[in-house]
Each structure stands twice: as structure tokens, then as C-alpha cells.
């Protein structure tokens, strides 16, 4: 099944709008992923994103949306139109499942945006019937991210090895989501 890539907002939460990244968003995305503090848990061995690298990721994410109906989305704060990060789903080929991930600009940490984005996307994912489950993972040292995943109702599953790092892994199914 093919999914047309929308040119406007895909979904909205109370404070955030979620849209598919466009090629012209590469610079903003590279800035987000050029903060060493923000990148320390993202499995990139200290690599910061150049605009060219970000453009390549955007191309992949747009392809994922066209094929699967989900993607890593651009997060815009509705109150002022500011780009504050990304959140959404990629396809984990190793485990044949959608994988939730997010990255919030450091200046926006501690304001509940990661939890709001993750909870909203979980509901959206199941409401649009994209699949019956998804996973997420975080390095154990990233306690803030682990807390977000627990807060949205994900259940811990067996640890996953990601690029040689053992991660705390979580799963959410539509059956669990319906109980909320």
C-alpha cells in the first residue's frame, strides 16, 4: 500500500504539530543533531549531523512514510511555530517492527515535550491502524528517555543490542493501548 506524503500537518497534540520533514528542513535537523549533549545517547559514536547527512535521513524518512504511513516527524510548537525536535517511527528491519524514537532540542528539555509527543504518537499509531505493536529502546543511562517510555505505558521486554550497546527495550501493543 502506498501512502501519499502530506504537505501539511499529519497530527497535532495539545502543544505540538507533527509533519513529514521536507528537504528544506535539513539545516534545522542538522542543528538539532549537532549538540554533543543531545547526541550522547543516539548511537552515532560522537558524529554530529551535517546538512547533507540530515538531507539523507529526511529522504529515508519520507520513503518510510510513503511505504508504511509513518515516519520521523518534525515537531513544531504550536504557540510560536518554533522547531523543537523530531519524534516518530522508523522501521526496525532487524526486528520487523516499527520503532518509536524522539529527539528534543536541549533548550526544550524538561518541559514535557518528549512525553507529550510519545504519548500522542502512540495513540495516533493505533488509531490509524498502522500495525498492532511497536517497540522503543534507550540506553539504560538515559533515564529521562526510559522514564518517558514507562510513562506512556510501554512494557519492558528483553534487552536489545543496538550497535553493540545493550539497551532497555519496550513494547506497546494496541491491546494495551485500548485498555487506557
Over residues 19-62, the pLDDT tens digits come to 999 999 999 999 999 887 766 666 546 678 899 999 999 999 99
Lowest mean pLDDT among 44-53, 110-119, 151-160: 44-53
pTM: 0.92
Which residues on neighbouring strands pair with residue 20, listed in sequence order? Answer: 73
Look up cell 549533549; give the residue: 37
The answer, yes or no, to whether residue 171 has pLDDT greater than 60, is: yes
Q: Are the beta carbons of 19 and 6 closer than 8 angstroms? A: yes
Indicate the domain borders of the chain: 11-179
CA 51: distance to chain centroid?
Answer: 19
Q: Under CATH, domain 11-179 is a member of which superfamily?
A: Gcn5-related N-acetyltransferase (GNAT) (3.40.630.30)
Amino acid at each position: 500500500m502506498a501512502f501519499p506524503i502530506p504537505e501539511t500537518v499529519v497530527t497535532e497534540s495539545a502543544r505540538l504539530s507533527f509533519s513529514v520533514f521536507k528537504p528544506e528542513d535539513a539545516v534545522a535537523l542538522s542543528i538539532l543533531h549537532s549538540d554533543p549533549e543531545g547526541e550522547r545517547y543516539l548511537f552515532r559514536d560522537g558524529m554530529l549531523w551535517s546538512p547533507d547527512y540530515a538531507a539523507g535521513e529526511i529522504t529515508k524518512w519520507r520513503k518510510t512514510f510513503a511505504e508504511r504511513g509513518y515516519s520521523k516527524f518534525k515537531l513544531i510548537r504550536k504557540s510560536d511555530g518554533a522547531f523543537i525536535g523530531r519524534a516518530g517511527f522508523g522501521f526496525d528491519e532487524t526486528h520487523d517492527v516499527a520503532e518509536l524514537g524522539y529527539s528534543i532540542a536541549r533548550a526544550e528539555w524538561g518541559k514535557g515535550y518528549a512525553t507529550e509527543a510519545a504519548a500522542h504518537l502512540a495513540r495516533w499509531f493505533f488509531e490509524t491502524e498502522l500495525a498492532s505493536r511497536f517497540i522503543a529502546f534507550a540506553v539504560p543511562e538515559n533515564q529521562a528517555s526510559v522514564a518517558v517510555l514507562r510513562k506512556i505505558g510501554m512494557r519492558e521486554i528483553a534487552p536489545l543490542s543496538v550497535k553493540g550497546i545493550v539497551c532497555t527495550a519496550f513494547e506497546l501493543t494496541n491491546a494495551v493501548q485500548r485498555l487506557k
